[in-house]
Amino acid sequence: MSIRTITFDAVIVGGGGAGMRASLQLAQSGFKTALISKVFPTRSHTVSAQGGITCAIASADPNDDWRWHMYDTVKGSDYIGDQDAIEYMCSVGPEAVFELDHMGLPFSRTEEGRIYQRPFGGQSKNFGEGGQAARTCAAADRTGHALLHALYQQNLKHNTQFYNEWLATDLVKNARGQVCGVIAMCIETGEVVFFKSKATVFATGGAGRIYASTTNALINTGDGVGMALRAGVPVQDIEMWQFHPTGIAGAGVLVTEGCRGEGGYLINKDGERFMERYAPNAKDLAGRDVVARSMMMEILDGRGCGPNGDHVYLKLDHLGEEVLHSRLPGICELSKTFAHADPVKEPVPVVPTCHYMMGGIPSNIHGQALRLSGGHEGDDQIIDGLFAVGEVACVSVHGANRLGGNSLLDLVVFGRAAGLFIEDGLRQGMEQAEPSRDDIEQAMSRYRRWDESKKGESVTSLRKALQQTMQNHFGVFRKGDLMAEGVSMLADLRGRIAEGHLDDKSKAFNTARVEALELDNLLEVAQATAIAAEGRKESRGAHSRYDFPDRDDENWLCHSIFDPATLKLGKRAVNFSPKTVDTFQPKVRTY
Name the site residues for another protein (rule: CB under 8 A): 39-40, 42-45, 47-48, 57, 97-98, 101-104, 106-115, 139-140, 142, 145-146, 149-150, 153-154, 156-157, 188, 217-219, 253-254, 330, 333-334, 337-338, 458-460, 503-504, 506-512, 515
Q: How far is the CB of 16 from another protein (least distance, A)?
A: 11
Q: How far is the CB of 512 from another protein (least distance, A)?
A: 4
- Structural contact between residues 9 and 33, judged by C-beta atoms closer than 8 angstroms: yes
| Identity of the residue, 426 or 519, whose beta carbon is nearer to another protein in the bound complex | 519
Q: How far is the CB of 229 from another protein (least distance, A)?
A: 24
| Identity of the residue, 137 or 275, whose beta carbon is nearer to another protein in the bound complex | 137
Cα(195)–Cα(212) distance, rounded to whole angstroms? 33
Name the H helices within 328-394. Answer: 329-334
| Identity of the residue, 342 or 515, whose beta carbon is nearer to another protein in the bound complex | 515
Cα(265)–Cα(347) distance, rounded to whole angstroms? 10
CA-nearest of 114, 112, 162 to 11 is 162
CA-nearest of 217, 224, 185, 232 to 201 is 224
CA-nearest of 7, 55, 45, 40 to 155 is 40
Residue type, 55: C
Cα(223)–Cα(205) distance, rounded to whole angstroms? 8
Q: How far is the CB of 153 from another protein (least distance, A)?
A: 4
| Identity of the residue, 150 or 569, whose beta carbon is nearer to another protein in the bound complex | 150
Q: How far is the CB of 225 from another protein (least distance, A)?
A: 19
Q: How far is the CB of 474 from another protein (least distance, A)?
A: 22
| Identity of the residue, 80 or 502, whose beta carbon is nearer to another protein in the bound complex | 502
**CA torsion angle for 351, 357, 358, 360 (degrees, to 10)?**
170
Question: Which residues on neighbouring strands pair with residue 170, listed in sequence order?
Answer: 183
Q: How far is the CB of 406 from another protein (least distance, A)?
A: 20
Indicate if 589 belongs to the active site.
no
Cα(276)–Cα(260) distance, rounded to whole angstroms? 13
- Structural contact between residues 16 and 46, judged by C-beta atoms closer than 8 angstroms: yes
CA-nearest of 369, 260, 364, 378 to 319 is 260
Tell me if residue 507 falls in helix, strand or coil: coil
| Phi/psi of residue 558, nearest 5 degrees | -160, 165
Rounded to whole angstroms, what are the CA distances from 556 to 70, 324, 427, 518, 537? 22, 43, 41, 32, 8
| Identity of the residue, 511 or 590, whose beta carbon is nearer to another protein in the bound complex | 511
| Identity of the residue, 99 or 317, whose beta carbon is nearer to another protein in the bound complex | 99
Cα(274)–Cα(58) distance, rounded to whole angstroms? 32
CA-nearest of 24, 78, 89, 38 to 205 is 38
Residue partners of 156: CB distance under 8 A and separation at least 6 = none
Residue partners of 280: CB distance under 8 A and separation at least 6 = none
Cα(229)–Cα(233) distance, rounded to whole angstroms? 5
Which position among 135, 209, 260, 288 bears the catalytic label?
A: 288
Cα(74)–Cα(581) distance, rounded to whole angstroms? 13
Q: How far is the CB of 214 from another protein (least distance, A)?
A: 10
| Identity of the residue, 97 or 397, whose beta carbon is nearer to another protein in the bound complex | 97
Residues with catalytic annotation? Answer: 288
